[in-house]
Structure 1
Amino acid sequence: MRIIFILFILLSLIITGCGQVLKQTDIPDKEGVFSDVPIQSAIVLSASPATLYKNDTTQLTCKLINVTSNVSYVWEKTGGTFNTNQNTSIIWTAPNQTGTYNITLKVYVANSLLGEASLFLTVNDNSRLVNVTNNITVTTSIYEHITVTDSISVTIPIYEYITLTNNVTVTTSIYDHITVTDSITVTVPIYEQIIITHNVTNNVTVTVNAYEKPMPARIVTNSVKRLNNALYAEWYPNYESDVIGYNIYNEGTGTKVNNSLITTTNSIIYGINNGQYYLYSVVAVNSAGLESEKDTWSYFGGHPRIDGSATLAEVDFNSSLSGFDFNTGSIVNSTNPAVDIVFNYEPGINMYQIRNNNPALGIDLTKALIIDMGYTYDFYQEQVFEWVDYYYNYQTASIGHTYLIQLPNNTYAKIRITALAGNYITFEWAYQSTAGVKILSKKIK
């Protein structure tokens, strides 16, 4: 019986890049029986560079161990192009599409397959990655990441990230983030963030010639209210992280109103002449000192008004303390011709009333018209007389309710009840003495 010795020798293979060596093929003798002579051949396949992006090229190299003569090669691929498919060293051009591609080399000796090896190359999506060194000038339009070193001049209109070292000059228009170290000059018209590293040990300085953050977005004014010789403005906030406050400008004089930066979303503008036309604007300010576009508004100055609080001590129609005259801000008799509203308590139904006259005189719609605006948190909640489809010559008085009042001479007033006890009614009041003006804000002291 013929003894067959089969010896498999595993080869030590050097693989570079992303290469893989496929199976080792033994060569049978003419009878189809393996020889007892060990085979010591190997295929080493490499790519340089091995990190690739769309449309990049790489050098593919095949090294054969213990195979010297009568050798032929066949290169195969799942994508991209070769400059040839016969040599031990060829150029592969990556396709314009991301993915992993298989490069296979089949090696034949005397037209018999010795073996094959595969290399898996990944084509990355970021075809705009640039690494440049040693006195190189780079001009590029759009990419995402650049690492540059050693005396490099870079012109970059648009990108997202840059890391610079060692005597690098950069001119760029728009990007998001920059980190610079070691004697670097940067010209940056528009960006969002800059981090500058100063190497104190080596006495290295970093100079930033010109840069600025984008100016803040324009804000929107919420409301402007006329006060006595003042305006009260409030606006919606700008939530950008680098916005640190707001400025107000008098567009008529071109001057800034506030001495220091406004850090709230409201402000009172003093020194307003009642009845005069004004034009103001408000802007947001970021940490670089840049201002947003102006949100401009125009208003007439406020109108004079009087206001205060009062207590009516004996609330009945026969009392000299049951009526109120807004023009003089005084308590008067309910039958006084100057009376604007009359307060009354009906003990039988335990109800307090606000009336436009003494009911003994009958209903008179030529007198004050009274609107109950319901419960309000404070006296400032109702600032403007708002006409509604209903009005009355009397209303039930309730604590916390605000009442808007139109007087016969086309002037307006409001009251807010703060206390009701026995025959006593206490209320806040405000009166607009200018006919036709419906602003009823109590003065902000």
Structure 2
Amino acid sequence: MKIRLLFIALLIALITGCENMNDYYDDIPPLPPRNIISVTGDNKIYLSWDENTENDLAGYNIYYSYSYNGKYTLIGSSRNANFTDYGAKNGETYYYAVTAYDYNGNESDLSTDVVYDTPRPEGFNQAVLNYKTFPALSGYDFSDYKVLAYNDKNTDFFFEKYNDKYYIDVWDDSDIQDMGETKDIYDISYAPKSGWVPLNPNENIKYEEAKVGHTYVIWTWDNHYAKIRIKNIVGDRMIFDWAYQLVEGNDELKIKINETRKPLPFVIKRK
């Protein structure tokens, strides 16, 4: 008899516990992620954001669109507060939004940061030579990623050694500006709006003194923006890293966030 009563008591407790679990089922989604940051890359875009603090957080979904008010499509998920879009193509502008989801499948609204980016090609450890000694190997063409002669019609800048000093030269239909010392090529986010080196009336070139560790922005003759960072200068050789914006007139060299948007209705979410 005691065994039977104990069994009934356990059954009642089990049923009551299940009902209580249903009563407390979590249908509250996490908060939308905040402070989304993107870093422009070469055929890729790196995204990061502040970590959510919910105890039941399971991960994040990442969405993209081709326009601010366009349809946002899921491209991937991440357990951590970062994601790299390896499907991004140079010269295309992408808008991004991130959601957070919990272990019960509850998903937040889209993040409210306006995050858009245009990936662009970049290169590292490229070399050019002093044009007075090696004229055919002294210039660089960002659009074709190759070394040219200093006086080639497609040359965007060329390297010069004069009286034991080094210079980066551009022709009179281009512009250049020294942005100062930087720790790497990514430090400079946008091309400047002003401050370009003036043309010397006695010459048809503009130039800045070439300094190791400095980054220079160049506004090319065909209305594109580029940047180079000098890594080393030895003898007649200059080694530099570079990045080039494919979209004509676009001054973005690495994105910053400066806007906030309202939630968008046009979203494709994972089922």
* Superposed CA offset, 1:324-350 (max 9, x none): 232333333333343321212234xx4
- Give 1:324's aligned residue: 140
User: Matches of 2:220 and 2:95 in 1, distance apart?
Assistant: 32
- Give 1:352's aligned residue: 166
User: Matches of 1:276 and 1:422 in 2, distance apart?
Assistant: 39
Amino acid at match of 1:342: F
SS of aligned partner of 2:241: strand
Contact 1:401–1:416, Cα closer than 8 Å, also in 2 = yes
Q: Alpha carbons of 1:311 and 1:184: their partners in 2 closer, same or farther (altered >3 Å)?
A: same
Instruction: Verify: 1:232 aligned to 2:46, yes or no.
Output: yes
Contact 1:399–1:418, Cα closer than 8 Å, also in 2 = yes
SS of aligned partner of 2:22: strand
Amino acid at match of 2:196: Y
Amino acid at match of 1:215: P
Instruction: Verify: 1:390 aligned to 2:195, yes or no.
Output: yes
Question: Which structure's CA Rg is the greater one?
Answer: 1
- Give 1:399's aligned residue: 212
Q: Alpha carbons of 1:341 and 1:213: their partners in 2 closer, same or farther (altered >3 Å)?
A: same
Q: Alpha carbons of 1:297 and 1:228: their partners in 2 closer, same or farther (altered >3 Å)?
A: farther
- Give 1:268's aligned residue: 84
Distance apart, 1:310 and its partner CA: 1.9
Instruction: Verify: 1:256 aligned to 2:74, yes or no.
Output: yes
User: Matches of 1:279 and 1:433 in 2, distance apart?
Assistant: 17
Report how many residues are paired. 232
- Give 2:110's aligned residue: 294
User: Matches of 2:159 and 2:93 in 1, distance apart?
Assistant: 39
Structure with higher strand content: 1
Distance apart, 1:426 and its partner CA: 0.6
Contact 2:224–2:248, Cα closer than 8 Å, also in 1 = yes
- Give 1:184's aligned residue: 16
Contact 1:229–1:301, Cα closer than 8 Å, also in 2 = no
- Give 1:81's aligned residue: none
Q: Alpha carbons of 1:255 and 1:428: their partners in 2 closer, same or farther (altered >3 Å)?
A: closer
User: Matches of 1:332 and 1:255 in 2, distance apart?
Assistant: 42
* Superposed CA offset, 1:114-150 (max 9, x none): xxxxxxxxxxxxxxxxxxxxxxxxxxxxxxxxxxxxx
Distance apart, 1:283 and its partner CA: 1.1
Structure with higher helix content: 2
Q: Alpha carbons of 1:279 and 1:351: their partners in 2 closer, same or farther (altered >3 Å)?
A: closer
TM-score (norm 1): 0.44
Q: Alpha carbons of 1:440 and 1:269: their partners in 2 closer, same or farther (altered >3 Å)?
A: same
Q: 2:228 aligns with which of 415, 418, 427?
A: 415
Amino acid at match of 1:262: S
Q: Alpha carbons of 1:335 and 1:228: their partners in 2 closer, same or farther (altered >3 Å)?
A: closer
Contact 1:278–1:300, Cα closer than 8 Å, also in 2 = yes
User: Matches of 2:245 and 2:95 in 1, distance apart?
Assistant: 23
Instruction: Verify: 1:343 aligned to 2:159, yes or no.
Output: yes
User: Matches of 1:292 and 1:426 in 2, distance apart?
Assistant: 47
* Superposed CA offset, 1:21-46 (max 9, x none): xxxxxxxxxxxxxxxxxxxxxxxxxx
Contact 1:167–1:184, Cα closer than 8 Å, also in 2 = no
- Give 1:77's aligned residue: none
Q: 2:187 aligns with which of 378, 381, 397?
A: 381
- Give 1:197's aligned residue: none
Distance apart, 1:372 and its partner CA: 1.9
Contact 2:167–2:208, Cα closer than 8 Å, also in 1 = yes
- Give 1:247's aligned residue: 61
Measured on the aligned residues, the alpha-carbon RMSD in Å equals 3.5
SS of aligned partner of 1:352: strand
Counting aligned pairs with the same residue, the percent is: 29
User: Matches of 2:73 and 2:251 in 1, distance apart?
Assistant: 30
Q: Alpha carbons of 1:344 and 1:303: their partners in 2 closer, same or farther (altered >3 Å)?
A: same
User: Matches of 2:36 and 2:146 in 1, distance apart?
Assistant: 36
User: Matches of 1:417 and 1:263 in 2, distance apart?
Assistant: 37
Q: 2:177 aligns with which of 371, 381, 394?
A: 371
Q: Alpha carbons of 1:346 and 1:250: their partners in 2 closer, same or farther (altered >3 Å)?
A: closer
SS of aligned partner of 1:295: coil
SS of aligned partner of 2:187: coil
Amino acid at match of 2:186: Y
User: Matches of 1:414 and 1:234 in 2, distance apart?
Assistant: 24
User: Matches of 1:279 and 1:425 in 2, distance apart?
Assistant: 37
Contact 1:229–1:302, Cα closer than 8 Å, also in 2 = no
Contact 1:248–1:282, Cα closer than 8 Å, also in 2 = yes
Amino acid at match of 1:389: S
User: Matches of 1:299 and 1:373 in 2, distance apart?
Assistant: 25
Q: Alpha carbons of 1:296 and 1:185: their partners in 2 closer, same or farther (altered >3 Å)?
A: same
Q: Alpha carbons of 1:270 and 1:316: their partners in 2 closer, same or farther (altered >3 Å)?
A: closer
